[in-house]
Structure 1
Amino acid sequence: MLCALLLLTPGTHAEDDLQNRGHDPFFQVSSAIPDCPEPAGPRVNEAEWKRDSHHRIEHGNHCWLEGRCRLPNAFAYDEEIADSTRRRLQWLSASLPAWRQSTLWVTVWQRWILIQGCVAPGFPVAPFMAALREVPDVERVVDETTAHPERGVPYALFRKDLSRHGSTKAQAGEGSVQGK
């Protein structure tokens, strides 16, 4: 009876535990826009991880098989890309300082840079994304930012209050948004 109760208690299932299971680089780079909802990022529960693992493996070495990558797995680039992205952002602070008028998170995933968060109206989106595409070994930069978070955001949300209870990602653009 005690074992059954423990299995039903929220937070005791391994699959309810949100983690960055792939160790994908995920970091916040700015925080000028208050109340910007935090993205779910690469945090998933065990069930999601198992469901996506085959695709992750296949996609990870696809570029090498096609002869587009020098390393046998696209994920092998991610830490180096994350470090280069941080340096690039430092350089952009001097050459394109308006980018700091944002609250942004970066996820690096198999040579892709995903930018999520909130930007000020008039934010220089095109030059900012173009500058990130210049980071070595980056295949694609994905823009999931908004200047109007009150209307919803174009990404899945991280819900700290629910992450221990198995609800991993809230739908993008929900009316009631909880973030940081």
Structure 2
Amino acid sequence: MKIYTKSGDKGETSLVYGMRVPKYDPRVEAYGTCDEANSAIGLALSHVPQGEEWQELFSVCHIVQTKLFHIGAELATPAGKEVGWKIEASDVELLEKMIDKWDAELPALKNFVLPGGCPAGAGMHFARTVARRAERKAIAVAEHLEVNPTVIRYLNRLSDFLFVAARYVNQKVGKVEPTLHQDDKK
């Protein structure tokens, strides 16, 4: 089987169920941005040290990456068609559970945190910004087409999850978080 199909050479792609749309279609933008967020998470994880103490982070992020794939499928499914796996409230609840758990282990925020720290933490911050863009793209799609509202909630919570994950990773490896410069607060 060849990896290339040549079916997109004229600027169109297929949604689930074979419907053809331009590659700039808002649904393609939305699920493509979810794919970017997924890749950014994978890149961040490639910088996390190996070891049993990181197993929870890897396990939860694997679930998140799978759910981002599912969100892409939902966004690529034309109106009136059913997707095989819908994002559900329990998916959002898992993110909230992990946010609460990891945040309880972190020092209280006293300054704005700047993206950075160790490569894994900086990568989680980058993934957070891509998740925010995916959320904005999904909301734009929802303005004109039916979108599972839990998809929007999940993407919103995902950026919070990735923010806390970045802080958690930085603290666990002993890297001080960069914060807003004192002179910039005026």
- What TM-score, normalized to structure 1? 0.26
Q: If each structure's strand is expressed as a fraction of its own residues, which one has the higher value?
A: 1
- What TM-score, normalized to structure 2? 0.26
Q: If each structure's helix is expressed as a fraction of its own residues, which one has the higher value?
A: 2
